[in-house]
């Protein structure tokens, strides 16, 4: 085990504006959030684009409190900083944006194909895809961009197989997913929010025309299955439960858009963060590699959990206060936006010993990368874990070393912490 930077030293500036996407240009601004956790755990932030401002919740315990008290902190008025109301919001709402009891009902309709049991059934298919991607990367030689050639290739292919859409649509779906979650980054979309006028798209998810394309695609996929059910997740999602309940067409389309965005980039960026962490900790790379060779699943699974904590790629989600409420000494007013910072909570030294130390043996490791202790716990958590584990198992035995081989480029975002380019140099076994 080797140490990372010491808190307060080597973590960068501690006074950055957490609203500004450019504050994340060099990665998550740890020093700034460390200071907030220590000095102002619940702090008020004005917004520059006409937004009404928000409370930033940065400590682990407070994040759990907000996530679990859905009667005080609602998701039903939006889960990003963007403020959108009325019919526009109603049309684009996805399952993240419901409160119980509607959310509970919605979740019951869609959760089965993503349960741990079902996901085990996908393992062979996932492994084959991972193997193919690794073999393709091997054909590139010792130096390549890990994001482009490995991490970007897998999640959408894997999700696409489960959903039952043609492999050949994978690249197009990745492009649309990128435009959604990268909606602040001019490299990812022609319509970056905040840099161009996106008012005409305010009624669609992420204020992005890519969502319209995905709506059309989802409609077409649903149509294909209507008279002719297939053995895939889309068919399962469209089928009524034993109680005869079923998703509406709009709910299905919004869920499809959510899966293509949430199920694609998040896993990609976690994969990239995982190999970067191992490249920076060669002794832990060697240990996980040996565990993959020996079939020691526990070591690999714990390494995956630490990668999830360490990368914590969805930096925040928002709630809205349903009444006046006090949180850690701050008086929050009904209607205020309350933003919980997962990437901050995952480095809270009140919860994690030596949080800036990457430690594949960390256990227990109750990170909040999936917000597992909230009603909105990530639907794709088991799938993402399986993808991350299988990729390690297929890749690591085939390489004896990995190092970072050039400048890293990051997504311009205050929402998703991701690398767009991660040049690596590997030694093939």
Interacting residue ranges for ligand HEM, rule: CB under 6 A: 67, 75, 79, 95-96, 107, 258-259, 262-263, 266-267, 270, 313-314, 317, 342, 369-371, 374, 376, 378-380, 383-384
- Quote the CA–CA distance of 263 and 270 in Å, as a whole number: 11
- Quote the CA–CA distance of 258 and 246 in Å, as a whole number: 18
Residue placing its CB nearer to ligand HEM in the complex, 7 or 54: 54
Minimal CA–CA distance to 305: which of 359, 269, 374, 354? 359
State whether the Cα torsion 140-143-149-150 is positive or negative: positive
3-class state of residue 30 by DSSP: helix
Closest distance of CB 132 from ligand HEM, Å: 19
Closest distance of CB 428 from ligand HEM, Å: 27
Closest distance of CB 255 from ligand HEM, Å: 7
Closest distance of CB 339 from ligand HEM, Å: 11
> Residue 186 in contact with residue 193, Cβ under 8 Å?
no
Residue placing its CB nearer to ligand HEM in the complex, 75 or 189: 75
Beta strand pairing call for 337-341 and 54-57? parallel
Closest distance of CB 372 from ligand HEM, Å: 9
Burial 40-66 (b: 16+ CB within 10 A, else e): ebbbebeeeeeeeebbbbbbbebbbbb
Token pair 């755990």 is found at: 41
Closest distance of CB 371 from ligand HEM, Å: 4
Minimal CA–CA distance to 363: which of 278, 299, 296, 280? 299
Burial class, 126, CB count within 10 angstroms (exposed 0-12 / middle 13-18 / buried 19+): buried
Give the residue at shortest CB distance from ligand HEM.
380
What separation in angstroms does the CA of 416 have from each of 194, 259, 265, 412? 16, 15, 9, 8
Residue placing its CB nearer to ligand HEM in the complex, 137 or 391: 391
Closest distance of CB 6 from ligand HEM, Å: 26
**DSSP, res 141:** -
Residue placing its CB nearer to ligand HEM in the complex, 362 or 389: 389
Residue placing its CB nearer to ligand HEM in the complex, 12 or 375: 375
Closest distance of CB 110 from ligand HEM, Å: 7
Residue placing its CB nearer to ligand HEM in the complex, 7 or 387: 387
**Tokens describing residue 413:** 């975002």
Residue placing its CB nearer to ligand HEM in the complex, 158 or 426: 158
Residue placing its CB nearer to ligand HEM in the complex, 99 or 191: 99
């Amino acid at each position: 085990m080797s140490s990372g930077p010491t808190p307060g030293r080597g973590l960068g500036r501690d006074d950055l504006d957490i609203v500004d996407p450019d504050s994340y240009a060099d990665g998550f601004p740890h020093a700034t959030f460390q200071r907030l956790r220590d000095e102002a755990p619940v702090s008020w932030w004005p917004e520059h684009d006409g937004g009404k401002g928000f409370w930033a919740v940065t400590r682990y315990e407070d994040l759990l409190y907000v996530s679990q008290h859905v009667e005080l902190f609602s998701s039903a008025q939006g889960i990003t900083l963007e403020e959108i109301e009325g019919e526009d919001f109603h049309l684009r709402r996805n399952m993240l944006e419901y409160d119980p009891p509607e959310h509970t009902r919605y979740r019951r309709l869609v959760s089965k194909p993503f349960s741990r049991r079902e996901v085990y059934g996908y393992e062979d298919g996932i492994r084959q895809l991972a193997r193919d991607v690794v073999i393709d990367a091997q054909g590139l030689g010792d130096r390549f961009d890990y994001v482009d050639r490995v991490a970007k290739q897998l999640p959408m292919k894997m999700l696409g197989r489960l959903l039952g859409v043609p492999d050949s649509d994978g690249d197009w779906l990745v492009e649309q997913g990128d435009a959604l979650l990268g909606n602040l980054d001019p490299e990812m979309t022609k319509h970056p929010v905040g840099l161009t006028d996106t008012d005409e798209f305010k009624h669609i998810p992420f204020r992005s025309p890519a969502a319209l394309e995905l709506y059309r695609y989802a409609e077409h996929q649903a149509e294909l299955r209507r008279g002719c059910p297939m053995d895939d997740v889309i068919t399962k999602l469209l089928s009524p439960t034993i109680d005869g309940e079923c998703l509406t067409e709009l709910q299905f389309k919004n869920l499809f858009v959510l899966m293509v965005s949430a199920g694609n980039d998040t896993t990609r960026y976690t994969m990239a963060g995982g190999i970067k962490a191992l490249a920076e900790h060669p002794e832990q790379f060697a240990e996980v590699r040996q565990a993959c060779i020996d079939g020691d699943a526990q070591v690999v699974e714990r390494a995956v959990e630490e990668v999830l904590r360490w990368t914590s790629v969805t930096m925040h989600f928002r709630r809205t206060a349903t009444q006046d409420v006090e949180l850690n000494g701050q008086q929050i007013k009904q209607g205020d936006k309350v933003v919980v910072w997962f990437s901050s909570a995952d480095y809270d030294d009140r919860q994690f010993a030596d949080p800036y130390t990457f430690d594949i043996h960390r256990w227990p490791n109750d990170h909040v990368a999936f917000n597992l202790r909230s009603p909105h716990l990530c639907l794709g958590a088991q799938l993402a874990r399986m993808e991350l584990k299988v990729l390690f198992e297929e890749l690591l035995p085939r390489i004896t070393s990995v190092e970072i081989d050039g400048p890293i480029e990051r997504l311009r975002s205050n929402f998703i912490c991701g690398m767009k380019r991660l040049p690596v140099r590997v030694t093939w076994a």
